Amino acid sequence: MLKPDQKLVIHFFEQIDKLNGKMGHAVLRYSRNPITCAIDFSHSGSSTRDLLDFGPDVPVLASVDEAVRAGGEVLVLGMAPSGGRLPPEMIAEVDKAVAVGMSVINGLHEHLGSRYPDLADGQWIWDIRREPQDLGIAWARAAGLQNRRALLVGTDMAVGKMTAGLEIWQAALKQNIRADFLATGQIGILITGKGIPLDAIRVDYACGAVEKMVMEAGDAELALVEGQGSIVHPGSSSTLPLMRGSCPTHLVLCHRAGLTHLDTV
Amino acid sequence: MLKPDQKLVIHFFEQIDKLNGKMGHAVLRYSRNPITCAIDFSHSGSSTRDLLDFGPDVPVLASVDEAVRAGGEVLVLGMAPSGGRLPPEMIAEVDKAVAVGMSVINGLHEHLGSRYPDLADGQWIWDIRREPQDLGIAWARAAGLQNRRALLVGTDMAVGKMTAGLEIWQAALKQNIRADFLATGQIGILITGKGIPLDAIRVDYACGAVEKMVMEAGDAELALVEGQGSIVHPGSSSTLPLMRGSCPTHLVLCHRAGLTHLDTV
């Protein structure tokens, strides 16, 4: 799948300066792969640093063709359309990219792999939000581990649970702590190359999927479990499987300063 | 799909006297459809009342062919194999039933519909555990309803949440209370003909699916929300979406008398 030297193109579909561009924003901020350019129709001609105050400064182009000419190899769908569905105009862009030989990273619930049965050698479609195989039920086995397990929780969605976890992970590694970041969402999985897309897992298997991942990381002195959802949002059901699957020894509560009411869906 | 007068055949696959036969047991106990017979290889020649102390007394036969000759029209997979997978020998039985024109009710995670693309007129495969379409996020809208919403919760799995809910429902109807039973599992859905298979719904949509169902039943004076899983079992993650989606006004806690430790997975 994704190799460390493959050059990414982040397609923002006009969300580069909006909250819905958060997948692309996180790739800009944290991916270790080289990033060739971004694509955003409404901002072509500018560069990412004209629009964002983080990440590398790369050009914002107007089309997949331009991105390929610039050396892009892997198209990352960098935005989250409302409801998780891919509108036809976005699919048309992916069609173009696949036709010219690009690989594709798709973090949305709607999968693309079956759309492209005839890929070239080395070309791939990575639908990150696929339920893993061979999941079972959880049985609080993580409680028997001797390591520290810090679960990131948040008062709202999109309040920095992943970002805080990644920052703690990096800081721990710098201190020679044998730390691991256990991704539970599409962005974290893209950045670290492993993990589980918790929100795409059926309720029956949610705790078991978390437990399996935490058990497999049992050698890490500090396992940082990426959180999902919110401890108080009525639309979020991730907190319970995360708690039960990881049996955390520590919780890190993320809150946006000044936030007094739920802000997001 | 299932019509009220269609004659059921419950295939127990040698689980008729075991806990894993609970789907078939509940059909015996609560289905309003006529039940022609049961199938269980290890007990053929006996009758259900020889083995069980509830439900109608129907013969236990040895094969699908015998069941069809006895008038059976719909095969119900009445057991839950470990891990929710259908072993090949069970699929062979379904193949036989479909070949002679029976319809099939399958409550397992593994779906069968795509296996039989060429069904006769009026023949159907009901894979109950399919995620509903058009699910969205929950927003605690149920909290705005004026009715009573009683959620069944349990200290362990298989401690009678569904049974208690069905009994309360029947008792309420007898008292002319406008009550509704909102099924969240395959057995409740089979019995009532509607509901959501909560454990087959992706974590992202779990709260929203419950909320949608509860809102649609907003006219019921008493909405009895079938529970799933357990409030303390480490493998269960259903309680949170059930609480958030239904915003219950009442909880009914089910506990098996004498139980001091978790008993089931």
Across the interface, whether the CB atoms of A136 and B237 are under 8 A apart is answered no
Q: Which domains does chain A have, with CATH numbers?
A: 8-127 (3.40.50.720), 141-254 (3.40.50.300)
Across the interface, whether the CB atoms of B234 and A247 are under 8 A apart is answered yes
Q: Which residues on A lie below 8 Å from B134 (Cβ)?
A: none
Residue linked to tokens 């992202």: B204
Q: What is the pLDDT of residue B246?
A: 98
Residue A68's CB is within 10 A of a number of other CB atoms, namely: 20
| Cα dihedral A153/B265/B188/B102 (nearest 10) | 130
Distance from the B3 Cα atom to the nearest Cα atom in chain A, whole angstroms: 29
In angstroms, the CA A92 to CA B128 distance is: 35
Across the interface, whether the CB atoms of A207 and B236 are under 8 A apart is answered yes
In angstroms, the CA A70 to CA A63 distance is: 11
SS3 at position A245: helix
Q: Which residues on A lie below 8 Å from B240 (Cβ)?
A: 237, 239-240
- Contact criterion met (CB below 8 Å) for A99 and A79: no
- Contact criterion met (CB below 8 Å) for A238 and B241: no
Q: Mean pLDDT over all residues of chain A?
A: 94
* pLDDT at residue A155 is higher than 70: yes
User: Token digits for B111?
Assistant: 């779906």
User: Token digits for A57?
Assistant: 């400064």
Q: Which residues on B lie below 8 Å from A83 (Cβ)?
A: 136
Q: Convert the pLDDT of each residue in A94-146 to its tens digit.
A: 999 999 999 999 999 889 999 999 999 999 999 999 999 989 999 999 999 99
Across the interface, whether the CB atoms of A207 and B83 are under 8 A apart is answered no
Pick from A136, A235, A238: CB nearest B139: A235
User: Token digits for A135?
Assistant: 């999941």
Half-sphere CA count of B90, side-chain side, radius 13 A: 25
Q: Which residues on A lie below 8 Å from B244 (Cβ)?
A: 234-237
* pLDDT at residue A256 is higher than 90: yes
ipTM of this complex prediction, to 2 decimal places: 0.88
Classify the C-alpha dihedral B77-B91-A137-A129 as positive or negative: negative
Q: What is the pLDDT of residue B65?
A: 95
Pick the residue from chain A with its C-alpha nearest to B233: A139
Chain B contacts to A (CB-CB under 8 A)? 83-84, 109, 131, 136-140, 198-204, 206-208, 211, 228, 234-241, 244-245, 247, 265
Strands (E) across B40-81 are located at 60-61, 74-77
Given a cut of 70, the residues of chain B with pLDDT beneath it are 82-84, 264-265
In angstroms, the first-to-last Cα distance of chain B is 32
Q: What is the pLDDT of residue B82?
A: 67
Distance from the B115 Cα atom to the nearest Cα atom in chain A, whole angstroms: 19
Compute CA distances A11 → A17, A114, B4, whole Å.
12, 21, 53
Give mean pLDDT, residues A59-72: 96
Burial class (CB in 10 A: 0-12, 13-18, 19+), A211: buried
Chain A contacts to B (CB-CB under 8 A)? 83-84, 109, 131, 136-140, 198-204, 206-208, 211, 228, 234-241, 244-245, 247, 265
Give mean pLDDT, residues A191-207: 94
Across the interface, whether the CB atoms of A202 and B109 are under 8 A apart is answered yes
In angstroms, the CA B208 to CA B246 distance is: 10
Q: What is the pLDDT of residue B83?
A: 64
Letter for the amino acid at B21?
G
Classify the C-alpha dihedral B115-B117-B123-B129 as positive or negative: positive
Question: A69: Cβ–Cβ under 8 A, 6 or more apart, which residues?
Answer: none
- Contact criterion met (CB below 8 Å) for B112 and B125: yes
Backbone angles phi, psi at B84, to 5 degrees: 75, 5
Please state which of the ranges A154-158, A260-264, B24-28 shows the lowest mean pLDDT. A260-264
SS3 at position B138: coil
Q: Which residues on A lie below 8 Å from B139 (Cβ)?
A: 234-235, 265
Burial class (CB in 10 A: 0-12, 13-18, 19+), A205: buried
Q: What is the pLDDT of residue B206?
A: 97
